[in-house]
Amino acid sequence: MSAGFRHHHLLSIADLDQRDVNQILDAAELFIEVSRRPVRKVPTLRGKTVINMFFEASTRTRTSFELAGKRLSADVVNISTSGSSVSKGESLLDTCKTLEAMRPDLVVIRHGASGAPHFVAKQVGCSVINGGDGAHEHPTQALLDAFAIRKSLGTLSGLKVAICGDITHSRVARSNAALLNLFGSEVRFCAPRTLMPRNVEALGVKVHHDLATALDGADVIMLLRLQRERIEGPLVPSLREYARKFGVAARHLEKAAARAIVMHPGPMNRGVEIHPALADSERSVILDQVEAGVAVRMAVLYLLAKEVRAQTPTAAASDAG
């Protein structure tokens, strides 16, 4: 199965089709078992080098890529802006060329500029994975969200998915919309007008400015924080006012589907976009998303790594590799 993975990079959900997504999620099903074993390591990527380049803050994505690489026995190196030559004025191009000379097999890049991973991919020969670029895309987040949805609801098709919060600045919203559209689910974006991009319907989503209509019949409710690091000037009157109108609590789920699940990519701002009790409720699959993050990133590293592609996922997830 893995022999058929046709991509050299993972830059954008827009590059994938249903088959690619299923291939990644099916491989992740096997890798999630690895993370539940007493010894959470397989030799699949022994001798391979993964460089994580994080030019923006990250907890979940960076840690899970690091764990994913290590659980596959790759050599993993983390570089962040503050400890690197970037803080000494080096250009992205020079950083890439320097890293390329060290012969990594895979580079994961998070950057504040939309398109930065695409730029890097054109400059280097190794595989590049987009770990989040500006407000553009966060493909592995959408893939791990898809994994958690499929696990909870058994499908990615025919669902009503409400994505609520700061849509304008959210790469998570864009990648999720692209992925869920591939499978024929209905995606609703819900935000105040000031946090909803213009022409967003072009992404194939329905636009809502009111929680009640957005959550009506929803199978999945995905909440997003205000991306304050990307917001210039006041886009909401006050946090309290925003939380009152767009913060989701258990009572808002009354008209959602009986099986509705609540998701959040993290980091959560409890009491703003999500009521603390809802975050900790049985509806919440937020920690399942985190667990899925490691497995999905193992699957992505495995599928992109050269030479191991000929291995079946089952062999890759076995102790013998």
Q: Which residues are near ligand ASP by CB under 6 A?
A: 132, 138, 171-172, 225, 227, 265-266
Instruction: Please give the structure tokens belonging to residue 193.
Output: 């007008």
Output 11 or 30, the one with its CB closest to ligand ASP: 11
CA 52 → CA 103, 111, 133, distances in Å?
A: 13, 11, 14
Output 115 or 266, the one with its CB closest to ligand ASP: 266
Q: How far is the CB of 111 from ligand ASP (least distance, A)?
A: 11
Q: How far is the CB of 132 from ligand ASP (least distance, A)?
A: 4
Helix (H) or strand (E) holding 34: helix 18-34
Strands (E) in 181-310, as ranges, are: 186-190, 206-208, 220-223, 261-263
> Are the C-beta atoms of residues 129 and 190 closer than 8 Å to each other?
no
Q: How far is the CB of 190 from ligand ASP (least distance, A)?
A: 16
Output 42 or 79, the one with its CB closest to ligand ASP: 79
Helical pair 139-153 and 171-182, crossing angle rounded to 10 deg: 50
Output 218 or 223, the one with its CB closest to ligand ASP: 223
Output 104 or 265, the one with its CB closest to ligand ASP: 265
Which among 13, 233, 227, 269 has a CA at the least distance from the CA of 135?
227
Q: How far is the CB of 225 from ligand ASP (least distance, A)?
A: 5
In angstroms, the CA 292 to CA 231 distance is 29
CA-based R_g, the chain, Å: 19
Output 105 or 137, the one with its CB closest to ligand ASP: 137
Q: How far is the CB of 110 from ligand ASP (least distance, A)?
A: 7
Q: How far is the CB of 227 from ligand ASP (least distance, A)?
A: 6
Which among 15, 42, 19, 21 has a CA at the least distance from the CA of 31?
42
> Are the C-beta atoms of residues 144 and 296 closer than 8 Å to each other?
yes
Output 45 or 108, the one with its CB closest to ligand ASP: 108
In angstroms, the CA 260 to CA 7 distance is 34
DSSP bridge pairs for 178: none
Q: How far is the CB of 15 from ligand ASP (least distance, A)?
A: 19
